[in-house]
Structure 1
Amino acid sequence: MKEEQLPGSPSPHDRELPPGRHRSLREHLVNEIRMRSSEKPPEVRALWRRPSVGYPVLAALLSGTLVVTLSLIGGGSAPDPADSPRRLLERIARAAERAEVEDVRDDQFIYQKSTSGYPLRQADGAGGLCAQSGSGRPVGDREEWKSVDGTRWGLRREYGDELRLKPDGAEGSRIPQNYRDLERLPTDPDAMYDWLHGTGEWQKNLDDFAVAGNLLADNLMPPEVGAALFRAVAEIPGLRVVQDVVDEVGRRGFAITRADESDSVRTEWIFDGTSLAYLGQRTIVEKETGPCPLKPGSVAGSRALLERAVTDEAGQRP
């Protein structure tokens, strides 16, 4: 969706953190850089838990708002350290296709709340060296309401501003722009794999894992489509599991990641170890590059998913 600044809101030049510096994980979070702060992680809303429910789930209709819980899947077990990426992704896929989804109307909105962080680093003018500025700071929260069918104005709140999101453009875009577009994606894993590969080539050779990660980070996935996505990703070469990962708000879990020798960073998808719920993504430095590099193994950016829901109006919170 395209963006339009609301009348009376600060200009982009007045913002403390211009959006251009902090793109989402669509571009691997390279510009959303953060070192782990020593401060206490921000408090996260308690999430309702229900036994044996798949991910992601539309839970209950409350005050006109259909709530999507994130870490609510009970009945799971922590992954065995010996589990392969394929086995874990199959478990995640099975949970996804068991999701309970109420009808989502065209006139509703997909609500998502997330928070991002990055390390503050700057060049030392005297010696040309790099120094960390403080202990790092969060970029902050983002709330976004996207039209279910793409025909209505949405809303984004971040950096203290409100930006209206224009209705989607003409149909036929290769990249899903709304929930209805997502429903039209393949539900067969082989067909989904082909779609990921073709879309990656169309997006200037973006790799399949990155294409899938962008979908996962920014969208509420229809259950059968989500299951196909995870099974298709399991066929991507070079995946591995990382145990005992901590996300942006301090939640622990495991990660599925893929390293590309030609890239200086790799992206981790973080899941709750018990519920298998998707928690967010972070980018890890693999090689030192540029005039002010982070050390290999450093977190180069992190984004945590806090809440998803379906609401009746843009700007309405669950």
Structure 2
Amino acid sequence: MDDLRSLREWRAEVPEPGQEWIIPERRRLLTRMRGRGQALRRRMLVVVALGAAAALAVATLRPETSIPGPANTPSVVRLDSSVVLAHAAEVTGRRKGAQVPLPTQWHYTKTLDKQPISDTTKTHERWLRYDGKQSAGFGEDGELVVRDVPPDPGDDDLSPQQYDAKLRALPTDPRKLLAKVTGDRHWIEGAHEEGVPKSAEPADARAYRVIMLYLSRYGSMPPRLEAAMFHALALIPGVRIEQGVRDAAGRSGLGVWRAGDFDTPERRYDILDPVTYRYLGHQTLWLRDYLRPGDSEPIVRKGAVWNTALLSSVIVDRPGRRG
């Protein structure tokens, strides 16, 4: 068992003391301090400082409300998102910076996928060369297969190198970063299915989506920029955080979601590690039965869950290596 993680989760459940407790205790403390000498005052200053540090630690994951989930999911605790995101920025800003990968290196990812209509969890391993010219994976026979990736002008996806170039061009001022990702034509236009009308994505929704996309590709994220992204998330209206959301690997994390611009039958969580704030995965939770027009039976029923997990995202020297 991870004792530090258990202690952190226990702290998150401790509510702040109410005013009915704080006011009389503060009055009693001040009365005692006035009647003592300078030595006592110095000792009390130390106690107050320690108390403030403890209060900050408790407030880091301060619960707001307890939210009952559907019948087959556990209850979750909604946290103070501004406090959590500020602490996430502090933690991530202290990470050790990663070097810019070479074009011939590879981005390796390992993910899990558990669909709501299946009892099995699928594992996916993928290598993509940093310049995007080749990809690799294991075939059904267990052999590693390396394929060339021909240029596709109509594809809006980016190579790892192109993602990284966009990433490192972002400002570390949170408000400027938010403006940059919101106004980036690549994320506004993108690709869309032929014959399907293109819908206009609200700016706040796009900013949240793009920042979470960057956070999920953490192989070469500069620490100061990662910290700025958490500060920028705090500026986006409707961002919520809940404790106790699990990914496809069963890991309990912080479920970040945004109250949407449209009424949808599901809630989509991006899950972060509660200690390191690394991206863990994704969860979609259906809040009500989902029926297509004309159907009498729902495709997905209320309480169904689709989980993914990001187990690894690292830069390696060749396909087949896992870091």
Whether TM-score is above 0.5 comes out as yes
Contact 2:285 2:303 in 1 (8 A): yes
CA distance in 2, matches of 1:227, 1:188: 10
1:298 to 300, 304, 316: 304
Shift in Å at residue 314 of structure 1?
Answer: 2.2
Shift in Å at residue 282 of structure 1?
Answer: 0.9
Q: Name the residue aligned to 1:89.
A: 85
For residues 237-276 of structure 1, the aligned pairs below 5 Å read: 237-260=237-260, 261-276=262-277
1:312 to 311, 317, 321: 317
- The one-character-per-residue Cα deviations of 1:197-230 (angstroms, maximum 9, x if unpaired) are 2345334534222233333334533323322222
Structure 1's 201 and 105: CA in aligned 2 closer, same or farther, altered over 3 A?
A: closer
CA distance in 1, matches of 2:171, 2:152: 22
Contact 2:61 2:80 in 1 (8 A): no
Structure 1's 286 and 93: CA in aligned 2 closer, same or farther, altered over 3 A?
A: same
Aligned alpha-carbon RMSD (Å): 3.2
Normalised by the length of structure 1, the TM-score is 0.60
Q: Any gaps of 5 or more consecutive residues in structure 1?
A: 1-45, 50-75, 121-134
2:149 to 166, 182, 192: 166
Larger fraction in strand: 1
Normalised by the length of structure 2, the TM-score is 0.60
AA matched with 1:205:
A
Structure 1's 105 and 294: CA in aligned 2 closer, same or farther, altered over 3 A?
A: closer
AA matched with 1:110:
H
Shift in Å at residue 304 of structure 1?
Answer: 0.5
AA matched with 1:166:
V
CA distance in 2, matches of 1:310, 1:277: 16
- The one-character-per-residue Cα deviations of 1:42-76 (angstroms, maximum 9, x if unpaired) are xxxx9xx9xxxxxxxxxxxxxxxxxxxxxxxxxx9
Larger radius of gyration: 2
Q: Which structure is richer in relative contact order (CA contacts within 8 A, separation 6 or more)?
A: 1
Structure 1 outlier segments of 4+, above 6 Å: 158-161, 167-170
Q: Name the residue aligned to 1:230.
A: 230
CA distance in 1, matches of 2:174, 2:280: 23
| Number of aligned positions between the proteins | 226
Q: Is 1:196 aligned to residue 181 of structure 2?
A: yes
For residues 81-230 of structure 1, the aligned pairs below 5 Å read: 81-82=63-64, 83-106=79-102, 107-120=104-117, 136-138=119-121, 140-148=122-130, 150=131, 152-157=133-138, 162=145, 164=147, 166=149, 177-179=159-161, 180-181=164-165, 182-199=167-184, 200-203=187-190, 204-206=199-201, 207-208=205-206, 209-220=208-219, 221-230=221-230
Contact 2:92 2:277 in 1 (8 A): no
AA matched with 2:149:
K
Corresponding residue SS for 1:243: strand
AA matched with 1:274:
V
Mean alpha-carbon deviation: is it higher for 270-279 or for 251-260? 270-279
Shift in Å at residue 174 of structure 1?
Answer: 8.0
Shift in Å at residue 100 of structure 1?
Answer: 0.9
CA distance in 1, matches of 2:139, 2:172: 34
Contact 1:154 1:167 in 2 (8 A): no
Corresponding residue SS for 2:63: coil
Contact 1:190 1:232 in 2 (8 A): yes
CA distance in 1, matches of 2:137, 2:168: 23
Identity of aligned residues (%): 26
Mean alpha-carbon deviation: is it higher for 105-114 or for 151-160? 151-160
